[in-house]
């Protein structure tokens, strides 16, 4: 019945034969593949999918988007597309940002070529589950040699009053020598009465010489148990600068990977995370250097409140043949409670000589000297603590391209602090 349900969903969406076959191949592999390995995070008993595929209904919780800026954007609530906006001058250059099925009509060959290229369905159990059961998607395509003068914004909202799984796929294709700044927001809306699961995959294909600035704010609610995978695949001389804010309320395991396939490719990952309540968040951030003279840097900062748990695994791997590669990483965590739990695990896997690699990791509480200095200048303890945390996490926050979103992230942090 599961096979028939998936096939009926696929046919109902008029998906091409190659995608129908891909879904069914993935379904057959789910029980044969292992779960992804997230060091020191016990998530094997979490409910990360109940084997259903369905469309969500139009939500009554849709916010008012009338005041949004005029930059290119796509807004989806559950599986429904609510708003699309693309300035005429960018559309004339061939830029596409739309829902998956509309994109299949416009650039079918490109989607067939690149869908699953950064994250193959047979990599692990959750990748296979995603390919079989994803129920909504979006595609951003920037043609060769096109440089966008406006940031592109994707807003993907999960209706917390709906039990329909939030299984979303985002495919970004940056053409040769193109340039794009992209902001992504995953957020729950509604009253949060329905328990649900989320399995989200974001693939970024950076072709030769392209430059991608990727910023994200994740604010999924405590009604969701989430697996989130963001994957970058970089060709020669391509670059992706990631700035990721992980501000969810529910349990989450995340995989942020960049594969530096081409010579001279460059990935810079900055991750900021906050865990609170009894929330568990485990984050794997990996850069794998395949190309010669490729550069992969990881910087992760996190804050833990109350009984929250946060695990950072930083993984730098240099494959044999990647001479001149550079892999650096730093993971640091601030604990604001004696009951908080944290791990910061640096891992280096080096299979080549003539390379540069290094790592650093620390876990600690707010420096008493910093607090003393600020309070000696007339600040109360709560305000001083807030300023220290903002400074600690500011390395990532400053990388987000839109001021209103930077302000939103700071507001979310302040809100978490006030709840203690």
- Consecutive sets of 10 residues in the chain, 420 residues long: mean pLDDT of each? 92 97 97 94 94 87 77 95 95 98 98 98 98 98 97 95 95 98 94 90 98 95 96 98 94 98 97 94 97 97 93 97 97 91 94 95 88 90 85 81 78 78
Token pair belonging to 319 = 């494959």
DSSP secondary structure string, 138-206? Answer: EEEEE-TT-B-SS-EEEEEEEETT--S-B-EEEEEEE-TT-EEEEEEEEEEES---S-EEEEEEEEEEE
Q: Which helix or strand (DSSP H or E) is residue 218 part of?
A: strand 211-219
Beta strand 136-142 pairing with 168-174: parallel
- C-alpha 181/C-alpha 240 separation (Å) is 10
Token pair belonging to 201 = 């995959």
pLDDT of residue 407: 85
Angle at 208 between CA 102 and CA 168, to 5 degrees: 35
| Whole-Å CA distances, 261 to 40, 238, 267, 320, 345 | 28, 10, 11, 12, 25
pLDDT of residue 61: 75
Domain extents in the chain: 2-366
Instruction: Provide the 3-class DSSP secondary structure of residue 126.
Output: helix
Instruction: Provide the 3-class DSSP secondary structure of residue 9.
Output: helix
Token pair belonging to 83 = 């708003």
Please, what's the b/e burial string for 359-394 (b: 16 or more CB within 10 A of its CB; e: otherwise)? bebebeebeeeebeebeeeeeeeeebbbebbeebbe
């Amino acid at each position: 019945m599961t096979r028939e349900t998936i096939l009926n969903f696929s046919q109902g969406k008029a998906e091409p034969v190659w995608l129908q076959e891909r879904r069914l191949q993935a379904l057959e592999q789910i029980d044969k593949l292992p779960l992804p390995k997230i060091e020191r995070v016990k998530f094997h008993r979490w409910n990360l999918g109940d084997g259903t595929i369905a469309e969500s209904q139009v939500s009554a919780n849709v916010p008012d988007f009338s005041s949004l800026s005029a930059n290119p954007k796509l807004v989806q609530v559950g599986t429904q597309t609510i708003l699309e906006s693309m300035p005429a001058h960018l559309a004339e250059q061939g830029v596409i940002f739309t829902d998956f099925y509309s994109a299949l009509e416009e650039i079918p060959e490109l989607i067939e070529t690149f869908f699953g290229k950064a994250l193959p369905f047979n990599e692990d159990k959750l990748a296979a589950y995603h390919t079989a059961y994803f129920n909504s998607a979006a595609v951003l395509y920037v043609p060769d040699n096109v440089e966008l003068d406006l940031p592109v914004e994707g807003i993907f909202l999960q209706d917390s009053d709906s039990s329909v799984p939030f299984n979303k796929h985002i495919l970004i294709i940056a053409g040769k020598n193109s340039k794009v700044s992209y902001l992504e927001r995953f957020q729950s809306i509604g009253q949060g009465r329905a328990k649900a699961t989320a399995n989200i995959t974001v693939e970024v294909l950076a072709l030769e010489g392209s430059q991608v600035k990727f910023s994200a704010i994740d604010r999924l609610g405590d009604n969701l148990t989430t697996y989130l995978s963001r994957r970058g695949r970089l060709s020669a001389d391509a670059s992706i600068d990631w700035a990721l804010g992980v501000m969810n309320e529910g349990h989450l395991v995340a995989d942020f990977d960049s594969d530096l396939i081409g010579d001279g490719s460059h990935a810079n990952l900055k991750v900021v995370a906050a865990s609170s309540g009894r929330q568990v968040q485990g984050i794997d951030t990996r850069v794998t250097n395949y190309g010669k003279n490729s550069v992969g840097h990881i910087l992760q900062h996190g804050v833990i409140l109350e009984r929250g748990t946060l695990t950072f695994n930083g993984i730098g791997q240099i494959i044999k043949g990647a001479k001149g590669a550079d892999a650096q990483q730093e993971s640091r965590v601030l604990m604001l409670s004696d009951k908080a739990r944290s791990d910061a695990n640096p891992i280096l896997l080096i299979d080549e000589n003539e390379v540069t690699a290094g790592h650093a990791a620390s876990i600690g509480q707010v420096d008493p000297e910093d607090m003393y200095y600020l309070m000696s200048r007339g600040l109360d303890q709560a305000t001083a603590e807030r300023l220290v945390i903002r400074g600690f996490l500011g390395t990532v926050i400053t990388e987000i391209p839109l001021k209103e979103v930077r302000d939103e992230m700071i507001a979310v942090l302040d809100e978490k602090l006030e709840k203690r």
